[in-house]
């Protein structure tokens, strides 16, 4: 069973370029808050593509991930570009910087890698650390995602795949009511299902598919 740390050590599942939506999110925070630098938490930062992109815009970035090798890659990229950020190996259920507060938190393609209870704990930890009016941008797998139902269901809606790139990694899938319940303490500014409707799928599709899976895009305010 591969852990994220092992995937990163093998050079697998490393996304290199920032998502356009994350850049838009930073622009939105820049319009919303006059304080500079903005304080932004990249929760489950992976190999650091968004940490680097946001630090390059002059903001104070905190980046955490459970995979130590992800943090090593993040630090290497930061130093390559002459940038800095606070980094920590930490589980998504905790904020590893005592007393830190944020204008924004971004968690791209990550929080669904857990049981529902832990995802809710993570969302609670984010809520506690956001300034009032602060924003969360998160993507979460939809029950309409390509891999929904694959592997072993370890609790309702949470599957661990038995084979492929992400064998051993849990995925929780949200339907609309599930996502609304998970975010019930937030003001939803946008809840978007980012749809991919596959017409053809080869055997071993998940290992070759370069396109997005169907996910919820959430922009929420504290």
Ligand X SMILES: C[S@@+](CC[C@H](N)C(=O)[O-])C[C@H]1O[C@@H](n2cnc3c(N)ncnc32)[C@H](O)[C@@H]1O
| Binding region for ligand X (CB under 6 A) | 4, 15, 44-46, 49-50, 65-67, 70, 91-92, 108-110, 113-114
The β-bridge relationship of strands 102-107 and 86-89 is: unpaired
Scanning the structure block, which residue is given the tokens 């990550």? 110
Q: How far is the CB of 110 from ligand X (least distance, A)?
A: 4
Nearer to ligand X, 75 or 109 (CB): 109
Residue nearest to ligand X (CB): 46
Residue ranges of alpha helices (H) inside 98-140 are 116-129
Q: How far is the CB of 108 from ligand X (least distance, A)?
A: 4
Which residue in 147, 91, 145 sits closest to 115, CA to CA? 91
Q: How far is the CB of 136 from ligand X (least distance, A)?
A: 14
Q: How far is the CB of 93 from ligand X (least distance, A)?
A: 7
Q: How far apart are CA 85 and CA 141, in angstroms?
A: 28
Q: How far apart are CA 206 and CA 7, in angstroms?
A: 16
Radius of gyration over alpha carbons of the chain, in Å? 17
Nearer to ligand X, 44 or 105 (CB): 44
Nearer to ligand X, 77 or 110 (CB): 110
Nearer to ligand X, 60 or 65 (CB): 65
């Amino acid at each position: 069973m591969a852990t994220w740390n092992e995937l990163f050590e093998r050079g697998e599942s490393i996304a290199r370029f920032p998502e356009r939506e994350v850049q838009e999110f930073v622009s939105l925070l820049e319009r919303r808050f006059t304080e500079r630098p903005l304080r932004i938490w990249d929760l489950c930062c992976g190999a650091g593509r968004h940490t680097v992109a946001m630090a390059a815009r002059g903001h104070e970035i905190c980046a955490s991930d459970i995979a130590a090798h992800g943090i090593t890659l993040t630090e290497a990229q930061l130093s390559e570009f002459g940038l800095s950020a606070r980094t920590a190996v930490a589980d998504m259920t905790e904020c590893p910087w005592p007393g830190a507060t944020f204008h924004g938190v971004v968690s791209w393609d990550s929080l669904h890698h857990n049981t529902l209870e832990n995802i809710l704990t993570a969302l609670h930890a984010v809520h506690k650390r956001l300034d009032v009016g602060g924003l969360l941008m998160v993507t979460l797998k939809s029950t309409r995602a390509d891999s929904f139902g694959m592997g072993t269901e370890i609790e309702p809606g949470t599957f661990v795949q038995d084979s492929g790139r992400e064998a051993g990694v849990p995925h929780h899938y949200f339907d609309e009511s599930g996502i609304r319940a998970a975010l019930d303490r937030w003001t939803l500014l946008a809840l978007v299902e980012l749809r991919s409707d596959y017409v053809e799928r080869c055997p071993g599709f998940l290992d070759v598919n370069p396109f997005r899976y169907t996910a919820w895009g959430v922009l929420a305010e504290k």
